[in-house]
Amino acid sequence: MNNLSNAKSEDTRNRIFQAAAELFANYGFERVSIRQICEAVGVQKPTLYYYFKDKETLILEMIRFTQQIVQAIRKDYVDCKTDFLEKIRGLLYGRKYFVETYPHFFRFYAMLHLFSTTEKVRAEMITLMLPLLDEFGAILVQGQEQGYIAPDEDLEMLMQTILGTLNGLSMRKFVFQEEDAFSDENLQRVFDFWQKHLFLNPKKRG
């Protein structure tokens, strides 16, 4: 009975996450009320407040849930690779998987960077984002060690360039509604461009 009850509780919690992510992504944080979220899920306010004491707590829990998604994708697409270029390719296809499998959560996550939120939410975002940037920096250092990046390259600017491209693809997908933004053909074009203009060929250097 406890297992059944726990499963039902987890299902309700996830449905609240899904509904809130879609509403926040479509209308913004300020314009979405607890009542609207409850109506979308099909539960009463006391049920939602059983899981989350207020909207800010809901947003914080959604950030942590989305971060779990990001970490799982990173593990499957990036961390399992040993070659630097394959890790970079994994960043592209990991982003594709994220935006296509969890579109509302991705848009929710992106909005957190663009719109005003509470101090507690901003602090949570910073706490979770800094380790991701450090991990990305470590990948670029690995690229230097494997000979794909020049020893004197500005890694911070290189990181911004790559992230800017990923965010640009996401904008094309969700803002301009370009369905081919994350097509395999387009991702290969991006990868080829990066390989030609941003990275070195270790074999030629040798």
Rg, Å, the chain Cα set: 20
Residue-wise pLDDT tens digits, 73-86: 999 999 999 999 99
pTM: 0.89
Which residues are within 8 A (CB) of 62 and not within 5 positions of it... i.e. 6 or more apart?
A: 17, 20, 21, 24, 105, 108
The rounded distance, in Å, linking the Cα atoms of 49 and 66 is: 20
> Would you say 44 and 51 are in contact if contact means Cβ atoms under 8 Å apart?
no
Residue-wise pLDDT tens digits, 130-164: 999 999 999 999 999 999 999 999 999 999 999 99
Residue-wise pLDDT tens digits, 60-112: 999 999 999 999 999 999 999 999 999 999 999 999 999 999 999 999 988 88
